[in-house]
Amino acid sequence: MELTSAVELTAIEARVVGSLIEKAALTPDVYPMTTNSLVAACNQKTNREPVVDYDAVTVDAALLALRERNLVRKVHSPGSRSTKHRHVIDEVVGLDDGELALICVLLLRGPQTIGELRLRAERQHEFASTDAVEVCLEALAARSMPLVRQLSRRPGQKESRWLHLLGDVDGGEPVDVSSPGQGMQTHPVPVGQDAEADVDLIARVEELEAQVATLRSQLAQLAEQLGETFD
């Protein structure tokens, strides 16, 4: 299935879709998601670049626009008072699990190197090697309507970075491919004598951050069911 013009995401829509993809894979017990839990997921301070502060009205408006283009669907669960939402972008665009994981991380964190993408996508899909990640990215880039693009290598860096082509990135600012990633704050995959230990530490920290974010999402959903406000 080829990409259509319907998949042109604003920065807010990209954050919403990315959050839905992530939670579908990592917290299936709270997926599909209510608006409140999705707000918490969008506003996470971990695994998100840039960090945002969307309210429910903003997220609902993005959900409406995404539903109109058949990228998100409402789900009505028996016995539940809350409307929930799920993405169908993998069906619309035609993505396998590995491709969906990479698109998700790019939507949530902006341009990244192959090493960063492998590390950050591994909880959704385990790639055998960085070469496997590169093969997947090249397949996405080689489509008749490409979904990703490789940026020029930055001075002093061993790896070039990749970005998604589904719309706005980096908070809605246009991407300058001649000097990519200005203002982006990432956790680069280290190289050198202690690389393996440092990568393991990054993975452990990000795992703990994700667990905290998941707990916040679950608490937000529980609070909504009880008619309370969760901040």
Concatenated DSSP letters of the chain: ----TT--B-HHHHHHHHHHHHHHHH-GGG-SEEHHHHHHHHT-SSS-SS-----HHHHHHHHHHHHHTTSEEEE--TT-SS-EEEE-HHHHHT--HHHHHHHHHHHHH-SEEHHHHHHHHTTT---S-HHHHHHHHHHHHTSSS-SEEEPPPPTT-SS-EEEE-SB--GGGPPP-TTSTTTT----PPP-STTHHHHHHHHHHHHHHHHHHHHHHHHHHHHHHHTT----
- Does pTM surpass 0.75? no
Tokens of 97: 């699990």
pLDDT per residue rounded down to tens, the chain (231 residues): 444 445 899 999 999 999 999 999 999 999 999 999 999 999 999 999 999 999 999 999 999 999 999 999 999 877 777 899 999 999 999 999 999 999 999 999 999 999 999 999 999 999 999 999 999 999 999 999 999 999 988 788 788 999 999 986 543 333 333 333 333 333 333 434 444 444 455 556 666 766 677 777 777 777 777 766 655
Which domains are assigned to the chain? 1-231 (1.10.10.10)
